[in-house]
Amino acid sequence: MLVPGASSQALAAALAAELGESLAAVEYDRFPDGETLAAVPGFDADAATIVASTASNDAYVELLQLQDAVREAGASEVTTVIPYMGYARQDKAFEAGHPISARAVARAVSTTTDRVVLVNPHEDAVSEFFDVPVDIVDAAGRLAEPLPALDDPLFLSPDSGAIGIAETVRDAYGEGETDYFEKVRHSGTDVEITPSDADFEGRDVVITDDIIATGSTMSEAVAVLTDGGAKRVFCATVHPLLARNARTKLARAGIERVVGTDTIERDVSEVSVAPVLADELER
Ligand code: R5P
């Protein structure tokens, strides 16, 4: 039985349809003091697959509650699918006295599950923080599907670390060149982007990244391209977090369109990762 977290309801339904499994009747509530309550009244299955992105602190607590609730209701096998893993970028103690937050949340999630499935975590190494087996799926190829016909396309990543995503989207699209920018991050919202050597004047460019969070990285990259004469600039991201004023930043930079998946359910979530997850869960 598929058990959806509050912020992954559409994806869980799509995944249930892909797998031909039923969807648990989940209830989400909040007490007057702000505490959350996620429950599965009537849950009656031996195996549960919880699907819950953790883009907020509440989502993490709800995930722990759902894990506990299905165990309490008798599930002997629990799989936890985290389409977007929050805190994954805090994978080091960046300063003395800082926590390794990704490890802290991974340990908590591990206590009540037999297995974890992650979709394009920020770094694959985050899987080592869990105390149970972890499988990682790459859904970047899904981002090619909603793209329109492109003129002499160039697929760019904002830094060398994300070039694999650009290559995966290009391969799925079927044609085009790939390259990457040089990126220096000065703070959480201040990012400096240096153009690549690729000639982008008059061409359609797709900038690909794992996450658009504040939009600082993407908007800087878009501005470099639009100022330099690119024809149209698209952004394709697995996780369209789009926090704070990210949309405004992208619009002001001259973006043509943002394409994302449903690991985080937003209006730009044009394509589902359900088929990729179904393949992994059916293996
Ligand atoms: C960083 O290495 C990631 O791949 C993304 O580029 C980054 O998380 C995006 O964050 P923001 O949208 O806040 O610039």
State pLDDT tens for residues 104-114.
999 999 999 99
pLDDT of 193 reads 80
**What confidence tens digit (pLDDT) does each residue in 196-208 have?**
778 999 999 999 9
d(CA 18, CA 187): 41
Res. 192 pLDDT band, cuts 50 70 90: confident
Task: Assess whether pLDDT exceeds 80 at residue 84.
Answer: yes
Distance 216 CA to ligand 1 centre (A): 8
- pLDDT of amino acid 240: 98
Give the integer Cα–Cα distance in Å for 282 and 153: 35
Cβ count within 10 A of residue 48: 26
Please choose from 124, 186, 211, 245 the residue to mutate so as to test ligand 1's pocket, defined by most ligand atoms within 8 A of CB.
Answer: 211
Residue 135 parent element (H or E)? strand 134-137
Note the pLDDT of residue 161.
Answer: 87
| Catalytic-residue membership of 231 | no
Task: Kindly state if the Cβ of 258 falls inside 6 Å of ligand 1.
Answer: no
Catalytic residue among 92, 183, 231, 249: 183
Instruction: Report the run of H or E that residue 115 belongs to, with start and end.
Output: strand 115-119
> Tell me: the pLDDT tens digits for 143-177?
999 999 999 999 999 988 899 999 999 999 999 99
Work out the average pLDDT over 85-101: 98
Phi-psi region of 185 (alpha: psi -120 to 50; beta: other; left: phi over 0): beta
Question: Would the pLDDT of 102 be above 80?
Answer: yes
Confidence of residue 191 (pLDDT cuts 50, 70, 90): confident
**Which residue has better confidence, 190 or 219?**
219
